[in-house]
Each structure stands twice: as structure tokens, then as C-alpha cells.
Amino acid sequence: MQRFQLALPALLVLCVSAELRAEPAPAKPHAQPTCFCKDRSVTVQSFESFFPSTLPHFPAAAMPSFAPSALDHPVPHQPGHLPGVAETPGQGQDEDLPTPVVSIRVEAPAESAVGQDLEYRIFVVNRSQAAAHHVVVRDRLPANARYVRASPEPSETQPELAWELGSLEPGARREIRLILSPTGGGEIDNCVRVAFEHGVRLKTQLARAALRLQKIGPAEAQLYDALSYQLIVTNTGNAPLANVLISDELPDGLEHRENRKQLSFSVDSLAPGQSRQFSYEVIAKRTGRLGNRAVATATGGLRDEVQSTVTVNEAALQLKMEAPREQSFGRTINYDLIVSNTGTAPLANVAVINRLPAKAAFVSASDNGRLAGSQVEWSLGNLAAGASKTIHLKLRPTGTGEIVNSAEARADRGLRVTAEAKTNVVGEAGLLFEVVDTEDPIEVGQDTQYNIIIRNQGSVPATNIRITATVPPQLAVTRVQGPSDHAREESKIVFQPLNLPPGKDTIYRVFVRGIKAGDARFRVELTSDQLTSGSLLEEESTNIFTPGQQEN
């Protein structure tokens, strides 16, 4: 129960009468309200009244009188709050507090000659221990007098004189000097009144519960991932929550272990500031953006909802193998293995394994591919969504007929794909042709050599075997050895033709020195009478780098 005192605006009315005479005459009785006169001045007593906040304008002869009013346990004005209004936090006061009392006193001549100005001295005094606010003095001039001047000047002159004095602290006093000029004879009946404000403001804190729902979960995932979600319900108000119910409807593509599409959780009550958390897991069974809405309700019509969205991606591994459909026996078969990620999620720990066919031997592999037993292995690391990687493999046929080469690509999450290519190896001349460098890579200024090996694996001699070697600009020839003479034609070395019996081999050696950094390609062309479909070409790559530069 709150107890307070409200002192409404006070209105104090004082009427002063003065009679204008041409010569002395007996004193006339004054009209209400009574003015007490002494000598040439009128002295009035002060009194207090309480009045509504809006100050009315009354005719001088019709001013009402008001009796004092008080409520139990008054509340004083506190500085910093609304002027004239005291504030309390909604608790009863145990002590009476002071109420402002403002008095008004007017001094004026009791008699005056016609044509002589009248001087009024108006005194406004706060005789209490409480401040009075919005103090206003008003004077509705009588009909037979006009305003001349005042100190201080009034803030209003029509329809009446008004002085806004603001606040009067306890014991404060203000004086107004007013000069009026009579406009006719007879009695001048002038009423001066003062009004002020004093009140109390109460604050009552209203207890109110408030509901907030949060959902925590991943923004991205991969297909078949297990996703964890947390639902957190909180009472953010200052009153208890009752009968809290949370409903979370799962979208298509998120599967609960119990195959439930709608999950429900309940809380009997939540104290102010208290939270409860609920957790669950689902499996991502579909790609794309999957969104859903969770809703929390409580007694009193309270409701909150939260939207959540997860983007489910899928990594897709693809492998292609490209090779010539036909190759002459003795020539290497070049394979291109293309590894691609056609999905929307990155691939991790991508590896490729190529098992050697029965009738082929390993020659070389790009991208750090290495021979491990009877297979070639690559470790390619991660592959971003939409990216691809091409690696190269060279095999030498060891017999004629069809060679079937197969490879497998692997990645994390158990992803595996295979690819294969078929090449028909024909034995037209039975010549085996191979070019090998002895040192690779080399620095600029370092020497290496190319061995050109020719073997007749056929049953008849190979005749008019001609070898032409093309030296790249990154290399300079230092020496040449071979079973036949040679001649140099700019960047080419042309050997004289020779014959090679079946089952025999021969070797040409070209010694070179690196003179320029880069990828040097040493190319050799072989022709023979038995190669009716065209010459054989072989190319060997050597990496040349400057001192201090790492190998690519």
C-alpha cells in the first residue's frame, strides 16, 4: 500500500481597494475579499490554498476562496526531478514531510488624488521548509485603472498582468513594484493573486515475464554429416515463466535418429534470468539449403521463434584417363589422368594409384608420382569444389597386342572412382626406341648426357636406321658418341644410317651442358625401312635451373 501527500497548486487571492477623492471623505467599506488598511497603506494577512494545476482567470469581484487540503504522509520535492513534483519509488513514507506555504502581501495607498499614479508593492514570500514551483502572480486590472509600468516587467499584460517567478526556495522572497494610473473617480478595487505548484510522483515497477529462444547449429555441412543443434530458452523478464513449450519441426533432408519430424521440449517454469538448454542430433541426407523454424510459447500468450539454415554440400570425385588407341611397339604410351571435384564441398587427401599392365614397363610420372612395387602412386592433397588436376604417366610396351591400363582415385569420406584406357600395340618393325637423360635436374653450367637406345626385337634386320636429334636452346652440345658418324646442322645432330640385326641393340650418346634455365626438351626422330607408317619420335625433358634456385 502506497501512502503519499499531494499538494496541488496553491492559489492565494489578495484584494486591495483604494478610494480616489477630490477632498477628504469618510472611509467606505471595502468589497470582499476584505482589505486591512493602515495609514496610507493596506496590510493583508497571508494564507495558503491548494488549487488545480491550471490557473484560472477570475474577475476581481468574483474571486473564490479555497480551504487548505492535505493528504497523509507528504513527499518532498527532490532536486533533479520534475519541478513541483516529488518522486517516490512506490514505498510508503513513515514521516510527514513539509508542504510549501507561500504568502502574498501588498502595500498600496488607501486614498489618492484624481490624476495621481498609484504605486503597489507586492511581496511574495515562501514561509515554509519546502520549495514552491511555477510561482505565478496575476493581477486583473480594475476597469478604472490602466497599467503604466512595473519592476520587474510582467511576462503578460493581456488579458491581465502576470509575473512568472519560477521556483521559490524555502524562505525566499520576491518583490514586484507596480504603477497604475486611475482613469476615473471612485474606488479602485485591485485584486492580486499568487499560485504555485507542489506535488508528488510515484513509480511502480510492473513485473513482466519475457521469452527468448535461441538455436545454435552449423551453417555448413557435408552430405551424411551428423549435425548437432542446441535450443536455449531464456526468461529475460522480471517475473516467472510458466508452461514453456518448444517445438522444432525438421525440414526434409535432416533426419533424426528416431525418424521424428517434429521435436518437442517442455519446461514447467523459468525464474527471471533462468535458461534451459536442449540438444539433439540429425543426419544430413540431402544437399542444398535446408531451413526450419523453432517456436517457444509460454503462459500469457508469450511467444518467440527463431529461423535456422544449414547449407549441405557434397564432394564428388571423378577420374578420367586419356591415351592413344594405337601405338607402335617400341614407343612409349603417354597417359593423361584427370582428377576432378564436381561437387560443392572440398575434397581432402586425394590420391591416385595406377597399377602397371602386364605388358608395360614404367618410364616416368609427373607431380611426384613414384613407382611402388607394381603400381604408381600420387598424393595430390586437397581439391577445391569445381577444381581439377591433370597428371601424366609414361609406360613402355613390352609386347604387342592390347594393353589395358587402369587407375583408381581416392579421397576422404570413403570416396573411390576408377578409370581405364585401352591401347593396341602393333609390332611393325620390332624396334625398341628409348631416350634417357643421366642427370635431371641440372644447374646452369652442369653437364648431363642423353642415351639414345635402339633395340631390334623383331625377327628380321632393321635397315637404314636414321637418327636425328634436336638440341633445345637451353643446352649446348659438348661431345657426341655413336655407332655411326654424325653431322651438325644448326640445332640438329644427324647420324649416318645403319642396320641392326634382330636381337641386337645399339646406343648413341649426346653430351650436353646447361646454358639457360628452363624446361629443356631433347627430341629424337627415328626412321627405318621397316617403319612404313612413319617415323618414331621420342622426347626427353630436363629441368635446368640457376644456382640457388630450387627445382620446380
**pLDDT at residue number 169:** 94
CATH code of domain 10-202:
2.60.40.10
Strand, helix or coil for residue 526: strand
Cα dist from 3 to 96, 205, 226, 493, whole Å:
11, 16, 63, 119
Strand, helix or coil for residue 153: coil
Q: For residue 356, which of 400, 418, 405 has the smallest C-alpha distance? A: 405
Torsion angle defined by CA atoms of residues 502, 451, 437 and 503, in that order, rounded to the nearest 10 degrees = 10
**pLDDT at residue number 139:** 94
CATH code of domain 317-426:
2.60.40.10
Question: CA 72, CA 66: separation in Å to the nearest integer?
Answer: 19
Q: Which CATH superfamily is domain 211-313 in?
A: Immunoglobulins (2.60.40.10)
Q: 276, 298 in Cβ contact below 8 A?
A: no
**pLDDT at residue number 16:** 52
**pLDDT at residue number 427:** 64
Q: 469 forms bridges with which residues in the sheet?
A: 493, 524
Neighbouring residues of 410: CB distance < 8 A, sequence distance ≥ 6 = 317, 349, 350, 351, 352, 353, 416
**Same fold: 10-202 with 211-313:** yes
Domain ranges (residues) in the chain: 10-202, 211-313, 317-426, 431-545
**pLDDT at residue number 213:** 95
Q: 249 forms bridges with which residues in the sheet?
A: 262
**pLDDT at residue number 164:** 95
Over the chain (552 residues), what is each successive 10-residue block's mean pLDDT? 38 49 34 32 34 36 33 36 47 64 91 88 94 94 92 93 94 95 86 88 82 94 92 94 94 91 93 95 93 93 94 94 89 96 94 95 96 96 95 90 95 94 80 91 94 84 91 94 92 94 91 93 92 88 83 46
**pLDDT at residue number 329:** 76
Which of 1.10.3720.10, 2.120.10.30, 2.40.50.90, 2.60.40.740 is the CATH number of 431-545? Answer: 2.60.40.740
Cα dist from 238 to 2, 42, 209, 267, 268, whole Å:
21, 63, 6, 17, 17
Q: What are phi and psi of 42, to 5 degrees?
A: -110, 130
Strand order in the sheet with 220-222: 220-222, 302-313, 288-298, 241-249, 262-270
Neighbouring residues of 343: CB distance < 8 A, sequence distance ≥ 6 = 313, 314, 315, 316, 317, 385
Q: How many residues does the chain have?
A: 552
Question: Considering the entire predicted model, what is its pTM?
Answer: 0.46
**pLDDT at residue number 38:** 30
